Every structure is written in structure tokens, then in C-alpha cells.
A = this chain, B = another copy of it.
Amino acid sequence: MIREESQLKGISELNVTIIGLGLIGGSMALAIRQLEPRSLWVVDQNSKVREMASAAAVADEVFADPTLPLGKSDLVILCLYPQAVADFLEKYRECFRTGALITDVSGIKTSLLAQINHFLRPDLDFVGGHPMAGKESWGFANASASIFAGANYILTPTVRNKTQNIRFLAQLFLDIGFAKVTSATPEYHDEMIALTSQLPHVISISLANCIASDDISDFVGGSFKDYTRVAAINTELWAELFLTNKENLLNQIERFQKNIEQLKKALTDHDQQSLQEIMAQGARKREVLF
């Protein structure tokens, strides 16, 4: 009971540990440090990253072994690849402080939560999360508290989660600069993300792969540069994200392929009216969003 209350007391009374100092973990550390938690600890396997983190003084202490900080932390943020989140939770199952609140930042949720809920200690509260922020370069060296400014954050709570913990996380993410925190089921999250994040990456990669030579550079305007931007991708992470959300992503790719095919048909048929209708429809659909 005491632990539950402590999580409502505010960040200044909490010990926070961030596991994994990549782009998101490093940025989380930099952002949360500004909120002045009671203690902020960070953990990374890579000794060079730990050196950088120490030099940048992102935390009160930098660890290679998570055991010690886990035992004292009220809040643990896992900034690891999806499968690594599950592996970490299983491996360090017994190391967490009683009643700790745990969250992650990985880009797929359904299969991950199903996996975790098999072995998660009943006293721990794992709330899935996904910051809709990032950039085309990665790693701790590119971390910055400012990457979260104005972005969306998705939480994917389940019936297992405590309401006050969901609220606490929502407020925390608003406090570090996110513009909006939304709750969605893990299934709905994965379906939406296939369209809004994974499909644009598929497109970007496929467009970049159309480059036949560097001769085109003189012919490049803003759109081509923008549209291939995220082709500079962390291949290991994104292959895992794609494969773990395969059915949803294949579904969205096929919807996109149908739209391309429809536009191509209007072009082949020299059907100016259909072409203009297809364009106008796209413009209208986007206008509703932005």
C-alpha cells in the first residue's frame, strides 16, 4: 500500500532507473533529469555508452549491472528493443523492488504484452508505452530532451494495470514535453502504428531503393529528400518491429498497393478526371488530420 501511494507523490520522491541508453533512453534520461527525481540511475551494457553517459552527467549513477538500481527503483523505464524488453523482464524478474512501476518504449505491443504477462511478478505493474518521437539518427550520441517536444505518446494499459500508475505515467510524459498522451489497447495500437509509422518506413525504403545512381542529385526537390529521410534506418530494430507486427503491416501495405494501382490505372487510361479525383480525395483525407 505504501508503494502504491509513493507513486502518486511526485517524481521528486521517486527513484527512477532507465535501462538502455539509445536515442530514446538517452533522451528520456536527459528529459527526466530536468524534473529532478529523488535519484536517477541509468544502465547500459556498452562500456563506451556508459562513459559518454558519465561524461554528460545524465544521471546520479551509471551502471553496467541493473541488479542494484532495480532493487531500489519505484519506476523503471525499459528503453530496449521489443524482444529485449521481454527477455530483460524475465531475466531480472526477482530483482525489482516490490510494487515497482515498469514501462517500455517499444514500437509494438500486442505480442510483447502477451509474452510478459506470462511471467511478470504479480506485484509489479507493467504499463506498455510508445513515444511517437525519434529521428533518423540513433544512439546515445544523438539523444536530446527536445526530441519529445510536441509529439504524441501512446500508452497501452490492460486490466492488470493500476489506474493511478497509468495517470502517473501520462503526467510524467506531458511533463517532459509530449503534447498528448493517449491510451489505446495493444491491438489497436499495433493496427494504427502499421499505417502511421511502419508503412511510411516501408515506402521510404522502397523509394530509396529506386535510386539507380547519384546522377539524380541535381533533380532532387524537397519531396524526394523528405520521403527518403527515414530510409536511414536502424535495420535490426525495424526488421524486428516489422516482423512482430507482420499481419497488420502486410494489410496496410496491401491497402497502399491498391491505391497505387488505382492511380496507375487512371494514368494508363489517360483518365484525367479520375486522376484529379484521386488527388483531391488524398488532399481531403489529409486535411482532416493536420
CB within 8 Å of B: which residues of A? 132-135, 151-152, 154, 180, 182, 184, 189, 192-193, 195-197, 199-211, 214-233, 235-236, 238-240, 242-243, 246, 249-250, 252-253, 255-257, 259-260, 263-264, 267-268, 270, 272, 275-276, 278-283, 285-290
Contact = CB atoms under 8 A, between A and B. Distances in A.
A135 B199 CA distance: 24
Contacts of A196: 216, 219-221, 224
Contact of A210 (B238, B256, B290): B256
B218 A263 contact: no
B239 A272 contact: yes
B243 A253 contact: no
Contacts of A289: 211, 214, 216-217, 220, 228
B200 A287 contact: no
A210 B242 CA distance: 18
Contacts of A286: 208, 211, 228, 231-232
B239 A276 contact: yes
A202 B133 CA distance: 26
A27 B59 CA distance: 51
Contacts of A283: 208, 231-233, 235
Contacts of A135: 222
Nearest to A182: B218
A207 B217 contact: no
Contact of A219 (B197, B215, B220, B281): B197
Contact of A224 (B151, B200, B210, B288): B200
Given A154-B218, A207-B282, A243-B275, 14 more contacts: A134-B221, A195-B224, A202-B263, A203-B227, A206-B263, A206-B282, A210-B252, A210-B256, A223-B230, A228-B286, A231-B282, A231-B286, A249-B267, A253-B267
Contacts of A239: 272, 275-276, 279
